[in-house]
Amino acid sequence: MTQRRLRTVLLEGELVRVRPIRGDDAPAAFALLHGHPEILDWLIWDGPSVVSELADGYAHWRSDFSDGANYHFAVEDLTAGAFLGAIGLRYEGHEHQGDIGYWIRSDAWGRGFASEALRLVDWLGFRHAESMLHYATVFVGNDASARVLEKRGYTEDPAGAAKVAKHGKLVERRFFSLTRRAWSARDGEWEPRTAVVY
């Protein structure tokens, strides 16, 4: 069975808009990431060295979006329209199992933006992209990100914990997951304020 491919996505909640990331998002994203260890220390990736690296990556991600393998989104403040960060839902190599990753600018932490972006992407995956499971990994010590996942109903599975190389050291990651059944029981009746999906 082939997973459904989505061509167009625009989602809005009460706080954020989630839309496909574009090459012209690269300057804003670069300013928020480059030289910001408070974000980069928690990402598997060490961050961009130049703006064009992000622009090229975002252009490639757009082609992934078109073929249904991976969906990468910009997260925008719904009120101000400002770029807040990014969230991804990746299926490549594990159809129907969405690997979630996200980051939010540090001056916007603790205001519910990540939680709502995750809620919107979970809704998209389970309602429209035929997800059976969503999962995310979090570096040990990134308690704020773990709380975002737990708030959205993700549960930790110690059996999924692993170590990965980061800055030349092995760093432990925690594994969290949300099943379609658990999502449906919790949020199955919820709808975004705005949803354009086809």
Residue 42: exposure state from Cβ atoms within 10 A (0-12, 13-18, ≥19) = middle
- 172 belongs to a structural domain: yes
Mean pLDDT of 63-71: 79
4 part of a folded domain:
no
pLDDT in tens, 144-194: 999 999 999 999 999 999 999 998 999 999 999 999 999 999 999 999 999
pLDDT attached to residue 195: 99
Q: Check residue 60 and give its pLDDT.
A: 81
Q: Following DSSP, what letter does each residue of 76-110 receive, concatenated? A: EETTT--EEEEEEEE-TTSTTEEEEEEEE-GGGTT
- Residue where the block lists tokens 């199955």: 188
Does residue 2 lie within any of the structural domains? Answer: no
Tell me how many domains the chain contains. Answer: 1
Closest CA to 75 of 99, 103, 56: 103
What pTM, to 2 d.p., does this model score?
0.95
69: Cα separation from own chain's centroid: 14
Give 12-55 pLDDT, tens digit per residue: 999 999 999 999 999 999 999 999 999 999 999 999 999 999 99
Report the CATH number at residue 143.
3.40.630.30
In this structure, is the dihedral angle defined by the CA atoms of residues 146, 152, 156 and 162, taken in order, positive or negative? negative
In three-state form (DSSP H/G/I as H, E/B as E, the rest C), the secondary structure along 146-173 is HHHHHHCCCEECHHHCEEEEECCEEEEE
* pLDDT at res. 190: 98
Identify the pLDDT of residue 196: 98
- Structural domain span for residue 181: 9-197
Instruction: Please check whether residue 9 is in contact with residue 61, taking contact to mean a CB–CB distance below 8 angstroms.
Output: no
Number of CB atoms found within 10 A of residue 162's CB = 12
